[in-house]
Amino acid sequence: MFSRIFRNPKRSLESLSEQEILALAISSEEDDGRIYLAYADALRESSPHTAGMFEEMAKEESEHRRLLIDMHIRRFGARIPLVRREFVRDFPERKPDWLIASMPVQTARAQARAMEEAAHRFYLQAAARTTDAQTRKLLGDLAIAEKAHEDKARHMGEGETNKAAIAEEDEVERRQFILTYVQPGLAGLMDGSVSTLAPIFAAAFATQDTWQTFLVGLSASIGAGISMGFTEAAHDDGKISGRGSPVRRGLASGIMTAIGGLGHALPYLIPNFALATTIAVAVVFVELWAIAFIQNRFMETPFLRAAFQVVLGGGLVFACGVLIGNA
C-alpha cells in the first residue's frame, strides 16, 4: 500500500522502450515547434528579427518530427503511443503559452538555448539506448541538429546584421520596460515620498504623538497609492502611446506611491517621538537620493540636476509640514 502512495508516477528514460522513446521524441518536437511559434507571435511586433529566427527554428523542429514519425511508421506502425515529456522523470518542463506572451526577448533567447541543450542531451541518451541501426543514426543526427540549434540560439547576436538587429530589439525592449514600469513607478515613488511629507510631519509636530502620526501617514500613503494607481491605469490605455498594459502601469505607480509614503510613516511605530522623527528624516533622505539615482540610471537625467530637483522639492514640502505642525 505504501509503495502505491509514495511511488513516483513518472517513469525514467531508462525504463522506456524504443517505441516509447520515439513517441517521446515526436511529442517533444511538436511541443518545441509550438513554443517557438508562440515566441515568434509574441515578439513579432517588438523584435521582428528574433521572431523570424524562431520561425525558422520551428520549421526545422517540424522536419525533425516528420523524420521521427516516418521512422516510427517503418518500425512500429502508424499508431503512436501517447508519451509526453511530463510523463518522464527529470525531463525539462516547458513554460505554458500564457507565460510566453509576457516573456522579455532576452529571456526568450535564453529559454531557447536551454531547450536545445536539453533536446541535445535527450537524443544522445536515446541513441545510446537504441539497438536498431537506422533509428540510432536518426537520433544521433537529431542530436547534432539540436546542438546546431543550441549554437544558433547562443550566437543569435553575432554577425554585423544580427548584432544591429538584436541591439535594436534590446533597445526597444528596454524602452518598453521604462515606459511600462520605470516611469509610472518613479512618478509614484516621487509622489508618495514627497507629497506625504507635509501631512506626516505636520501631524508629528502638531500632536507629538507617534501613533496618531503613524495613522495619518498610513492613510495618506495608502490613499495616495490607490489614487495614483487608478489615475495611471485609467488615463491611458497604452494603445496609442505604446506605454504598455494600463494594469501593469497602474500597479507599478500605486505600489511605489504607497511604498514612498510608508517609508517615513513606519518609523512612527516607535513610541519615542524624537527617535522616530530622526529615523523618519533619515528615511526621507534615502528616498530622495534613491529617486535621483533612478532618474539618472533609467531616465538619463544628470545626477546632480536630478538630486537638486528632488532634494529641493522634498525640502520645500518637508519645511511646509514642519511649519504647519508648529503653527
Provide block-wise average pLDDT over 10 residues at a time, the chain (327 residues). 54 85 90 88 81 87 91 91 82 64 73 83 87 88 82 57 62 76 85 82 86 90 88 75 79 89 89 90 85 82 77 74 72
Q: What total of structural domains would you count in the chain?
A: 2
Does 162 fall in a domain?
no
Check residue 159 and give its pLDDT. 46
Residue 190 in contact with residue 252, Cβ under 8 Å? no
Q: Are residues 144 and 219 in the same domain?
A: no
Q: Which three cell numbers stand for residue 267?
A: 518609523
- Per the listing, cell 510631519 goes with 201
Does 280 fall in a domain?
yes
Check residue 47 and give its pLDDT. 79
CA distance 57 to 146: 10
Does 86 fall in a domain?
yes
Of the candidates 99, 100, 105, 93, the residue with the CA atom closest to the CA atom of residue 52: 105
| CA 69, chain centre distance (Å) | 36
Q: Are residues 184 and 320 in the same domain?
A: yes
4 contacts: CB under 8 Å, gap ≥ 6: none
CA distance 244 to 51: 19
Q: What is the CA radius of gyration of the chain?
A: 29
Find the angle CA(133)-CA(138)-CA(139) to the nearest 5 degrees: 100
> Hey, CA dihedral for 173, 176, 178, 182, is it positive or negative?
negative
Among 121, 156, 191, identify where a domain stops: 156
CA distance 64 to 81: 18
Q: Which three cell numbers stand for residue 264?
A: 517615513
Domain that holds residue 78: 9-156
Check residue 160 and give its pLDDT. 44
CA distance 157 to 135: 35
Give me the amino acid identity at 58. Answer: A
Does 289 fall in a domain?
yes
Q: Are residues 190 and 311 in the same domain?
A: yes
Q: Are residues 57 and 114 in the same domain?
A: yes
pTM metric for this prediction: 0.55
Check residue 1 and give its pLDDT. 43
Among 156, 184, 215, identify where a domain stops: 156
